Amino acid sequence: MISSDVKRHIVIATFVSVLIIVPVMWMLMDRTPPYTIEHVEINPHNAVQGQEIYITFTVKSNRTACSPGLIYREYREESGKLHLFDPIIRAEAPALDNNRFVRISKLPDNISPGPTIYRGTACYTCNPIHSWLHWPVCSSTPNIEFNVVRKPSP
């Protein structure tokens, strides 16, 4: 027979385990990004090398803002050449206006004229487990094609 002290310790250990395991499992399964990107537009569609473009994101909000976030951007030329940028740290999710927000990005001076694809990925840590495991929740844009035109000579 098991003594009452051992039974009490088993009950306490089970209770403490449930108190720890349930929240940890809930945080591990929490993979919903703060927003889902539904549509992206680039203006102007015919962008000049080295100039700024306006990227308008239409999103569906899924949850309250998570932070911090890392934003990754890339441009892929028709030739396959890839222009990657260092990630941008965002302290909070973007403020939405009618489920939209706009970002301004400068095209590289050395990007080749012709069809180009933009792709962005936003990664957020939405709970302590995401931070501790370095396993953020990410949302990516679809590939958005636009045209790069040669910078006029001075």
Q: Read off the pLDDT of residues 110-142 as tens digits, 9 standing for 90 and up.
A: 999 999 999 999 888 888 888 888 888 888 889
* Amino acid in position 44: P
pLDDT value at residue 125: 87
CA separation for the pair 133, 82 (Å, rounded)? 29
Nearest to 87 by CA among 68, 108, 102, 62: 68
| pLDDT reading at 65 higher than 80 | no
Backbone angles phi, psi at 16, to 5 degrees: -65, -40
Residue 80 pLDDT more than 80?
A: yes
At residue 62, does pLDDT exceed 90? no
| Whole-number pLDDT of residue 3 | 78
Q: So what's the pLDDT on residue 115?
A: 96
For residues 106 and 50, the answer to whether their CB atoms sit within 8 Å is yes
Is 57 exposed, middle or buried, given 0-12, 13-18 or 19+ CB atoms closer than 10 A? buried
Per-residue model confidence as pLDDT tens digits over 5-29: 888 888 887 877 777 788 877 887 8
Distance CA 85, CA 82 (A): 10
pLDDT in tens, 27-57: 878 888 888 888 999 999 999 999 999 999 9
pLDDT, position 75: 94
CATH of 33-149, one of 3.90.550.10, 2.40.50.140, 2.60.40.1930, 2.40.10.10: 2.60.40.1930
pTM: 0.78
* 94 pLDDT above the threshold of 90: no
Residue 1: pLDDT band with limits 50, 70, 90: low
Give yes or no for a contact between 141 and 123, defined as CB atoms under 8 angstroms apart: no
Cβ neighbourhood burial of 118 (10 Å; 0-12, 13-18, 19+): buried
pLDDT at 64 over 80: no
Residue found by looking up tokens 């012709």 in the block: 114
